Amino acid sequence: MKPETTNNTCRTLRKKQGLTASVRERLLNFSLRHLESCPRCRKRAALLDRIELALDLLRTEQRPFDLLKKANTRAVGTLAHGLRETPDAGRLREQMPRPGWLELHTPALDKLLNVAACLFMVLIIKTGVFADLTKLENTGRKAVNNYYARNLSAEGLNDILRDIFPEAETNDIDLV
């Protein structure tokens, strides 16, 4: 019987992925172990992290909203007269930055989240989570009742129960 061909792209890819993941994990573990024991490398890693953080700060710095409009107006003003008077140039002078995906979809996302929250509430009511909570409360009440029944007299027990469960009729609770 002919041996199975090794030119199977899927299998090769799977093997390579497994190998890469394994190497990556081992390398990460090795680095972490070394960092734990080497203060010099730890310091170096902290410095690199600090630069990454500072670069993040630069990336996320808020710019004035009309900056693009101002920059375009200035740049268009220096172009040839004929170019300056075109309708495109006029549009550029009024150009505003496009809002990002998140900003654009925030209202829709808010509505979606509200609907999801409502559905979740309906779901937990339907599955009986609240009924279970009531059962749990009753069980707890019984347990408290039993404890005091064993350790206190009947009069003292009723007083305490009235303090703990003012809304409940303590006489109705079964003493087990």
Contact residues toward other proteins (CB under 8 A) are 44, 47-48, 50-52, 54-55, 57-59, 61, 63-64, 67-68, 70-72, 74-80, 82-83, 85-86, 88-89, 91-92, 95, 97-98
**Helix, coil or strand: residue 79:** coil
Cβ closer to other proteins: 73 or 158? 73
Residues whose CB falls within 8 Å of the CB of residue 84, separated by 6 or more in sequence, listed in order: 76, 77
Q: What are the structure tokens assigned to 82, written together? A: 């004929």
- Name the residue nearer to other proteins (CB basis): 86 or 114: 86
Q: Residue 170: name the closest of 156, 131, 150 by CA.
A: 156
Give the integer Cα–Cα distance in Å for 146 and 137: 14
User: Which one-letter amino acid corresponds to residue 20?
Assistant: T
Q: Residue 37 or residue 78: which is nearer to other proteins going by CB?
A: 78
CB of 105 to other proteins, least distance (A): 19
Minimum CB separation from other proteins for residue 85, in Å?
7
